[in-house]
Structure 1
Amino acid sequence: MMRRTMQNLLSKNPPNRQEGSTETTLADQTSDYGSPGSESVTQEGPSAKTTSIAKSDHPNEVDQGTPESRLSPEAAPEAILNEIKHDPKAVPPLIKGGILNGAQGVHIEGSAQLISAQNYINVYNTVLQRHSPEKDEELFWKIIAWISDINYHAIQADNFEKRAAGTGQWAFDDPIIGKWLEGALGVLWGIGMPGAGKTIISSIIINHLTQKAKANKRICVAYAFARYTDLFTGEQVLGGLLRQIVQDHPSTLPFVKPMYFHHLLHGTRPNQLELLATIRAIFDSDLFDQKYCSLDGLDEAFDDTQVDVLDGLSHLPANLLIMSRPLPLLKERVPEATFIDIIVHESDIKQMIEEKISRLRKLRGLLEKGDWKEKVLKTVLERSSGMFLVASLQLDMLSRCMHLMDLRSALEALPVGVNAMYEATMKRITEGQGCDLALRAVTWVIYARKTLRMSELRHALAVNTATFKYSSDLLVDAETLLSVCCGLITYERETKLVHYTAHDFLVAYLSKPGVDVQATLACTCIARLRNCGFANYKHRITQNYSSRIFVDRCFLAYAHRKWAAHADSASIPAFVEKFVLQCQRFPWNHPSFDEFDFLNSIQLAAACNFHQLLAPWLGAEPSRASQPSPPTLNVNSKSAHGRTALALASMNGHIEAVKLLIEAEGVSIQCSDHKGWSPLIAASHGGHVRVVDLLLGAVAVDHVNAGSWTALMEAASLGHTEVIKSLLRVQGINVNAREPVSVQGKGDSALTLAACNGHLAAVQLLLGADGIEVNASHWEYGTALAQASRWGHTGVVAVFLQRHDVDVNSSQCEEGTALMQAVEMDRMDIVELLLKHDKIDVNATRSDRSSALSLALARKRLEIIELLKGHGEK
């Protein structure tokens, strides 16, 4: 019998049930991956006996795999035999019962149960079913980390902590909000002006619901936040919601596991529809009596994200709470929504003012004299225009007063409105002692490519902007930094502006003729890189950004990730050019790979698309006197991983750099790296169709990489349709090229790769190619039809079934026919499709003599059993 991959088995085997638990079989729930099927879910509630999964340290990143790094079938059996060898009790019952007697290459010795096996027949399917709580918990946290790295729990905790005690209680007396909390309203949309406290009210309502959910596990509460500092896509928002649901309710894990193992196997990520379908399946199940979702700050999201998330969440079977500024163009998308105005209640803002005063020691001392406290309360209430934000900034301004005369003058001049408040705050900053530090800090918070932790911001500011040299002697403490910024910057877990309305004001304020902010930020990043020796780094980096070099040196990871992006947004400064010229072994990594490569000057310029530097270096335009070429310019020089400048530019899709390098004298266009990737294969893998078009005609289109994949196979596996179109236009291309069957290869072709990953458009393009072999078979999972059936790609299956030349009963693989694989993976909709085909053979068997019916019986899939019997299964 042929071996099965570990991931295949894990995706099929149901978890062991805890004795005595109340269980519900989710037979009716389906998605693109099928239902949780025979995986039973522990029903949470007062009467259920459950085993909770405790929090523990878990990895931040999960290896999602790539098409060229699918698990070797050799690994799993070897690990199992080692386990049996060290623990005789681990011998599975099937082996003890003699099912392996007489099997070739298997020897069992007496009570010691020593096993030597060469073909591993029937070994690890059974062993994997042994229950291991530690493994379950490890897998749980791996899946949590894989779903999303967005932690909405932390954001909610920060928001709720910022409220003044006792504020927002009016929300629970409001009849409309009360109806929504009872579940009588589907979508409740809170509308308020900036600074009106929408986020605080939202956090108070969420906290109320989460407290109820702690007492009753049949209540599910999920919440998301859109922020201008973190412009998440629809996929990211939904991923964050799903992570939160699974983390709070481990009983929902069976809904996610099929999707996890599918994408882990294929090196892909779930899209928005998949995530939404999974959340819907969870909410449609009988796990919960009440479901609540909340989305705060919808107006701060991308326009596309606003539409995508709103459309998706508003159609879920849950009560949805939205908070935003007025968005009249989006109202029509949710006609059933109930709208409510979020207006600051005077009692709330008064409570906030009093609480903030209690924390401002100097101001509190002044207000203890006479009736000054009442005067300040009255003035701030009047001039804040009902905005928490303005009131808070006004109090920050008053806190600087040294004596009552200062306080009197400040109260009389207290600005009204948001922009006036920002103007006054900037005036205070520019007149203060730490003006330069404050302006640089605000600049970093506005223009950083990701939100910075306080430690990162402090180290970014420890660079002398006159010399661009980093020095730890320039570090300032967080308290001083926040003080000189006069309330414009806040710090929770990350630094950010006090409010998103400050962003537009400060961008206009800081924009000055002749000042290139991006160039300054790029040079600051390079100062940190130089300080850590990155121009000629002599050591290996084996753990990506979790390596010690990045962990121990604050701001280095940001500087390394983002310096080129900042430089590319500017006219490349001389300081940046000088640094690139100095590079002999610069650590560089591509987002698709965990490994670090090491580049010289020309390779680094190509990888970063610094075509302004490459052009004079390659003689495409005259060099300036101040712009020398690298000392040893070799256009075909290879990096530590065998990549040339052309390969690096191609894999990143840098069309300008590729154009220059293709025309360079003596350039090698076909040169392969350590993976066997040529520039064409690298560009095809990345989906860079313009680069592919440039390279075609100058290279062998059927060149294969080290895994025997062609450019067409790379593009097909990832669904890059435009690249596929370009490749198919090349006369004589081998559309049926296949990897050889070996330890690493399994006989994949472009068609099987597109089908197993569910890329419908790619499949249709390939099926239209002359001479395409529709029935080419992968040694383990079979034809493209069988693989699409196995992995639940209904649309792809339907396309294959329309062809007259498809062999619907092909079984030249370990897992059997398309029907068997659809049955085994509980793909009810695909089973129904296949059974409608007039040539389907429901009685076919595979090498282990299993039939579709026996597989359905083993999984107790009653609906499928009835369907098969109705089609003449014997």
Structure 2
Amino acid sequence: RSTLKRLSSGEEALDKAYDDAIKRIEAQQEGCSELAKRVLTWISYAERPLTIEELRHALSVNPGDTDLDRDNFEDMEDIVSFCAGLVTVDDKSNIVRLIHYTTQEYFLRIRQGWNPTAQQDITITCLTYLSFDPFKTAISNDNTTNATGVHITAKLGLKYLLEMILTELDEVGRAEAKDFNGRTPLSWAAQHGQVATVKILVERNDVNADLRDNKGQTPLSWAARHGHAAIVQLLAERDDLLAERDDVDADSKDYLGQTPLSWAARNGHVAIVKLLTERNDVDADSKDNDGRTPLSWAAEYDEKETAALLAGRDDVNADSKDNGGRTPLSWAAQNSAREIVTLLAGRDDVNADSKDNDGRTPLSWAAECQSWLKKSWVASLSQGTTAKRLMEREDVEVNSKDNKGLTPLMRAANHGFIVNIEAFLEKENVDVNLRDNDGHTALWWAEQSLNYRGVEILKSKISLIERDEYDGSTKNP
């Protein structure tokens, strides 16, 4: 340090001082000089200052390691000593840095000639480190195996490391290597929202931006599914970057027949739904293998904004039936999507009493909750409100029977939702004495499900004569 202060600021004088320091480093024993070279390489190539712990981790990794061995950690006093005064440690921040800003400038000029394999060595160290056992669960939580370093760096958004791998260790097919699920690094980057690494990959001529994995999903599909609008825009829109590569199908179907729009709609990614539906090459009413449309999925998952956006389009059939005969209103009713039920039931082009292949109407589905909501009072209250909303329409038959002869009231009684039972009994035309195909009434269903409050309410609606003669199971009272 004192030598640096005495030197003139001329580049030649500084270079001579640094050259002398390099000679002293190389004159040490082989192990000491090699360690010093690795330390100076890591510090001079790092994109940001390294802490003591980070540098120790980097220096301890050897090719072929499967886990971090702290016994390989170097002593910081040795590190500083072996580097011939070119490295110092900030005690407050624990940052390891070069002694002077001119030292960094010096290494920028000489590092390639002094250590020609530096970038390759750093790349190998990083890939070895990322392949350690503790990282495998975090990196491959979908049980993906056979992932390459390009997959991992693309997923984690390690832009500079990815560029280094693709440049310094260039091999045919590396940028488009497939894991056991047929997924490429671009697919991984798109799923995890890594815009920077997506850009690097799509700019390459050896990368197919629309390559399908084993389940037929493209990078665009993964990005749409997980809500990464910037990546969807990058892949789907033909901007200046992609003007020459017209190979991304924005309406591609996966093995389920679902499009990027379907995934975005069911997961409530409004910005992506808007972006895709504005394109002429995207079918906003596309049906998947089950005959379900993006609106159907949005309705089931109670995605209000995407459902409203899709239902408001002229090219979307708001009453479309899937392979099971179910409409978006039916799915919304089943899952107590009250606002979507209100939206769809308020339309003249929607049959609010439409029957599916099991003979069930939206009201029949609204009468009962999904099993995981069965004991939720809040869900029950919401379901009751949904049922009431449907019964406001004159064309909804409150006593409609499905293929098993079950009415909405019977289903409400069986599932124990008092608010629904009360909602049905408020209707003057509800028939509490109707029987299903096995001769059972709503009261029988309430008794079988131990719905004591429901039993009490239903009995209060049955005349004394009917109650005395009622046996709960026979077809003839």
Q: TM-score, normalised by structure 1?
A: 0.35
- Match 1:732 to one of 315, 328, 352: 315
2:101 maps to 1:476: no
Match of 1:527 in 2: 127
Which of 739, 762, 774 is the equivalent residue of 2:340? 762
Q: Describe how 1:594-633 pairs up with structure 2 within 5 A.
A: 597-615=181-199, 618=202, 629-630=203-204, 632-633=206-207
Judge conservation of contact 2:292–2:321 (CA < 8 Å) in 1.
yes
Residues 510, 800 of structure 1: alpha-carbon distance in 2 compared, 3 angstrom cutoff: farther
CA offset digits 1:824-855 (Å, max 9, x no partner): 11222221121011221112222222111222
Aligned partners of 1:463 and 1:469 also within 8 Å:
no
Residues 363-390 of structure 1: per-residue CA shift (max 9 Å, x gap): xxxxxxxxxxxxxxxxxxxxxxxxxxxx
Corresponding residue for 2:161? 575
Corresponding position: 1:661 with 2:219: no
Q: How does 1:147-296 map to 2 (within 5 A)?
A: none
- Identify the residue that residue 107 of structure 1 maps to in structure 2: none
Correspondence for 2:264: 683
Q: Please tell me whether the aligned partners of residues 650 and 680 of structure 1 are also in contact (alpha carbons under 8 angstroms).
A: yes
Given that residues 332 and 338 in structure 2 are in contact (C-alpha distance below 8 angstroms), is that contact kept between their aligned partners in structure 1? Answer: yes
- Kindly indicate whether the alpha-carbon contact (under 8 Å) linking 1:526 and 1:579 is maintained by their aligned counterparts in 2: no
CA displacement at 1:610 relative to structure 2: 3.2
Deviation of 1:724 after TM superposition, in Å, equals 0.6
1:800 corresponding residue in structure 2: 390
Name the aligned partner's letter for residue 696 of structure 1: T
Q: Indicate which of 782, 791, 800 corresponds to 2:360.
A: 782
Q: Deviations over 1:566-599 (max 9, x none)?
A: 944xxx4321345589354454xxxxxxxx8432
Task: Report which stretch shifted further, 842-851 or 675-684.
Answer: 842-851
Structure 1 SS opposite 2:367: helix
- Shift, 1:559, TM fit: 3.5
| Structure 1 residues 616 and 679, CA gap change in structure 2 (3 angstroms) | same
Counterpart CA distance in 2 for 1:529 and 1:813 is 61
CA 666–810 in structure 1, closer or farther in 2 if over 3 Å, else same:
same
Does residue 837 (structure 1) correspond to residue 437 (structure 2)? The answer is: no
**Aligned mate of 2:328, from 741, 750, 768:** 750
* Structure 1 match to 2:291: 708
After TM superposition, the structure 1 = structure 2 runs for residues 391-540 of structure 1, keeping only pairs within 5 Å, are 439-440=53-54, 464=59, 471-472=65-66, 474-476=68-70, 509=93, 527-528=127-128, 531=131
Instruction: Tell me, in whole angstroms, the C-alpha distance in 2 between the residues paired with 1:509 and 1:729.
Output: 57
Q: Letter of the 1:600 partner, please give it.
A: T
Q: Distance in 1 between matches of 2:455 and 2:67?
A: 74
**CA gap 1:857/1:635 in 2 versus in 1, 3 angstroms:** closer
The match for 1:558 is 138
- SS, match of residue 556 in structure 1: helix
The 1:856/1:655 distance shift into structure 2, 3 A limit, reads closer
2:403 is aligned to 813
User: Which amino acid letter does the alignment assign opposite residue 384 of structure 2?
Assistant: T
Q: Structure 1 residue 614: deviation in Å?
A: 4.0
Partner SS for 1:732:
coil
What residue in structure 1 maps to residue 115 of structure 2? none
Aligned residues: 341
Tell me what 1:651 maps to.
Answer: 225
Work out the CA distance in 2 between the residues paired with 1:757 and 1:560: 33
Deviation at 1:471, TM superposition (A): 2.1
Report Cα offsets for 1:411-459 as digits up to 9, x if no partner.
xxxxxxxxxxxxxxxxxxxxxxxxx997349xxxxxxxxxxxxxxxxxx
- In the aligned structure 2, how far is the partner of 1:670 from the partner of 1:566? 24
Whether the 8 Å CA contact 2:63–2:125 is kept in 1: the answer is: no
The 5-angstrom pairing of residues 99-114 of structure 1 reads none
Q: Does 1:872 align with 2:456?
A: no
Cα deviation per residue 1:784-838 (whole Å; 9 max; x = unaligned)?
A: 2222211142222232233333221111233611100011112222211210112
One-letter identity of the residue aligned with 2:258: W
**Structure 1 pair 511–718 and aligned structure 2 pair: CA distance change class (3 A):** farther
Name the CA shift for 1:839/1:632 in 2 (closer, same or farther; >3 Å). Answer: same
Cα pair 2:175 2:201 within 8 Å, conserved: no
1:826–1:510 Cα change, 3 Å? farther
Q: Is the 8 A contact 1:779 1:812 kept in 2?
A: no
CA contact (8 A) 2:52 2:95 kept: no
Does structure 2 conserve the Cα–Cα contact (< 8 Å) formed by 1:782 and 1:811? yes
Distance 2:200 2:177 in 1: 22
| Secondary structure of 1:790 counterpart | coil
Unaligned residue ranges in structure 1 (runs of 5+): 1-435, 442-460, 485-507, 515-522, 533-552, 588-595, 619-628, 742-746
Q: Could you tell me how far 1:761 is from its partner in structure 2?
A: 2.0
1:815–1:821: 8 Å Cα contact kept in structure 2?
no
Give the distance between the partners of 1:686 and 1:647, measured in 2 at CA: 12
For residue 858 of structure 1, the aligned residue among 448, 453, 462 is: 448
Aligned-pair distance for 1:653? 1.5
Distance 2:159 2:441 in 1: 68
Q: Distance in 2 between matches of 1:577 and 1:651?
A: 27
Taking every aligned residue pair, what percent have the same amino acid on both sides? 22
For residue 560 of structure 1, report the CA deviation from its aligned partner: 3.7
Q: CA RMSD in A?
A: 3.9
Tell me the distance in 2 between the aligned counterparts of 1:555 and 1:807. 58
User: In 2 relative to 1, CA 580–657 (structure 1 residues): closer, same or farther, beyond 3 Å?
Assistant: farther
Rate the CA distance shift 1:756–1:815 in 2: closer, same or farther, 3 A.
farther
Letter aligned with residue 731 of structure 1: D
State the secondary structure of the residue aligned to 1:777.
coil
Q: Matches of residues 3-402 of structure 1 in structure 2 within 5 Å?
A: none
Q: Secondary structure at the match of 1:811?
A: coil
In the other structure, the counterpart of 1:639 is 213
For 2:221 and 2:138, locate their aligned partners in 1 and report how far apart those are by CA, in whole Å: 25
Q: Equivalent residue of 2:207, what SS?
A: coil
| 8 Å CA contact 2:175, 2:206 repeated in 1 | no
- Structure 1 CA distance, aligned partners of 2:293 and 2:408? 26
Q: Which amino acid aligns with 2:286?
A: H
Q: Cα 1:512–1:609, aligned 2, differ >3 Å: closer, same or farther? A: farther
* Separation (CA, whole Å) in 1 of partners of 2:96 and 2:337: 48
Query: Partner of 2:182: helix, strand, or coil?
Result: strand
Structure index of larger Rg: 2
- Alpha-carbon distance in 1 for matches of 2:130, 2:406: 58
Q: 1:799 to 1:577 in 2, by over 3 A?
A: farther
Q: 1:440 to 1:798 in 2, by over 3 A?
A: farther
The answer to whether the 8 Å contact 2:176/2:207 transfers is: no
Q: Which has the higher contact order (CA 8 A, sep 6+)?
A: 1
Contact 1:728 1:769 in 2 (8 A): no
- Tell me the amino acid that sits aligned with residue 864 of structure 1: G
Q: Give the Å deviation of 1:615.
A: 4.1
Q: Following the alignment from structure 1 to structure 2, what is the Cα–Cα distance between the partners of residues 817 and 601?
A: 53
